[in-house]
Amino acid sequence: MTNRLFSAYTLPNGGIIPNCIAKAAMEENLANAKQQPDSALFALYDAWAKGGVGLIITGNVMVDRYAMTGPGGVALEADSDLAPFTQWASIAKQNNARVWMQLNHPGRQVFKAMGGKNLAPSAIALDLGKHSSMFTQPKAMNHDDITDVIERFATTASMAQQAGFDGVQVHAAHGYLLAQFLSPLTNKRTDEWGGTLENRAKLLLDVVKQIRQRCGDTFDIAVKLNSADFQRGGFDVEDAEQVINLLAQYHVDVVELSGGSYEAPAMQGRSADERTLAREAYFLSLTSQLVAKSPIPLMLTGGIRRKEIAEQVLDAGFVMCGIASALAFYPNLANLWQTQPDFSPTLPRVDWQNKTLAGLATMAIIKRQLRRMSQGATPQTNDSALWSLVVDQFKTKQRTKRYRHQLGITND
């Protein structure tokens, strides 16, 4: 067993992360009406910064305000006011943590109620059974759409660098746009952006290439990648290995491995192809084969909540251990492990038969804790799943109405 968890880690570019515990990204929905961070997000990140993690990765920041994973999300574009983002970075870095902004484009995973853009590699709608009507059929992207997205990622990364973030993490997992291009289930294109895995990976590679050219060699670039989609015929662990090898040419500093999508929420411990996931460190057994071969340092996220499991992740060869849900309930978990190494957080689990609603309720409970911290209150572990879901749906409707009004969106 190692004590590397609280040792500093030096990135390939020379940057230093003070310990090997990372706050992985969670969806917060706490931005203001202008899609900027303000006092709510500042208070939340103040709690995490004081909690002792070595790396803080923000919740996903959108590269296009008309393509959002949900209302209350943050967007950073060429014309955005940088002042609140500069303050956000400063607060997150106050305890010497390294801070990365996660960049994302949802592609087809845009809720119908949001309106705006609904783009994808191919015009294939989400299949969520009886809940499929929550999304619309996306528009297959043309060349101009693709060029625009690459430019947006590079611009947002450059803006993040100007605001004082140490790096960015490009989100190419969980069924969002870049993952949609990677998966043969969602990418049926016959042009240079589809077909072979190398072609399906071209959008991700071009995004990373442009960010590296724009931001230089000392700026941290990470990629969040699915180890697998957990859907039959989808992106799988052998594909992940190839994509990691392709990314190495652009000097990516860390690849974070996760898994799943809206259709198969493996990141919540649920697969759709009947593969059994562990109750903790969901993807450890699946991804351990990647560690020995990877030319890029790897980080693992997914259901980790105990120190001994975090140490197992490092012993398996990962350089960072990513924690999300546990830090929504115990923002000071890293500090607690320093004095109480056997501390094991109790996290609520929603075991409803309807997997889609169970996933939404799980997220609702987590977002409720983030909201509490954003108001200076303490998280709770005994919230009702049903009531949390009802409250979240109500708040989401309010924020959706505000979002559509703010952007003048009238389409359905």
Q: DSSP of 116-149, one letter per residue?
A: S--EESSS-----GGGGGGB-PPEEP-HHHHHHH
* Distance separating alpha carbons of residues 356 and 300, to the nearest angstrom: 24
Q: For residue 139, what are the β-bridge partners?
A: 119
Instruction: Indicate whether 406 belongs to any domain.
Output: no
Distance CA 178, CA 160 (A): 20
Dihedral of CA atoms 347, 46, 398, 357 in degrees, nearest 10, equals -20
- Band the pLDDT of 59: cuts 50, 70, 90: very high
Total domain count, the chain = 1
- Whether pLDDT at 200 is above 60: yes
Q: Tell whether 48 is covered by a domain.
A: yes
Q: Is residue 377 part of a domain?
A: no
Q: What are phi and psi of 164, to 5 degrees?
A: 105, 5
Does residue 250 lie in a domain region?
A: yes
* Structural domain includes residue 364: no
Q: Which residues contact 85 (CB under 8 A, 6 or more apart)?
A: 36, 37, 76, 159, 160, 163, 165
Q: How far apart are CA 51 and CA 333, in angstroms?
A: 7
Q: Which two tokens stand for residue 190?
A: 């016959």
Nearest Cα to Cα of residue 20 among 294, 370, 342, 297: 297
pLDDT of residue 227: 85
Euclidean distance between CA atoms 27 and 6, whole angstroms: 26
CATH number of residue 259's parent domain: 3.20.20.70
- Which pLDDT does position 145 carry in this prediction? 98
Mention every residue, 6+ apart, whose C-beta is less than 8 A from residue 14: 218
Whether 24 is covered by a domain: the verdict is yes
> Could you give phi then psi for residue 268, rounded to 5 degrees?
-110, 10
Q: Are 49 and 56 in contact (CB under 8 A)?
A: yes
Report the pLDDT averaged over residues 221-245: 90
Q: What are phi and psi of 320, to 5 degrees?
A: -140, 150
In a domain, 275, yes or no: yes
- Residue ranges of alpha helices (H) inside 254-354 are 284-291, 307-315, 325-329, 333-339
Task: Provide the mean pLDDT of the chain.
Answer: 93
- 184 in a structural domain: yes
The tens digit of pLDDT for each residue in 338-397 reads 999 999 998 888 989 887 888 889 999 999 999 999 999 999 999 999 999 999 999 999
pTM over 0.85: yes
Q: How confident is the model at residue 1 (pLDDT cuts 50, 70, 90)?
A: very low
pLDDT of residue 254: 98
Domain with 326, as residue range(s), is 4-347
The per-residue pLDDT for range 113-166, each reduced to its tens digit, is 999 999 999 999 998 888 888 899 999 999 999 999 999 999 999 999 999 999
d(CA 369, CA 380): 7
156 Cβ neighbours under 8 A, 6+ residues apart: 61, 63, 76, 77, 101, 103, 168
pLDDT 10s digits, 265-321: 766 676 666 565 666 666 787 787 899 899 999 999 988 999 999 999 999 999 999
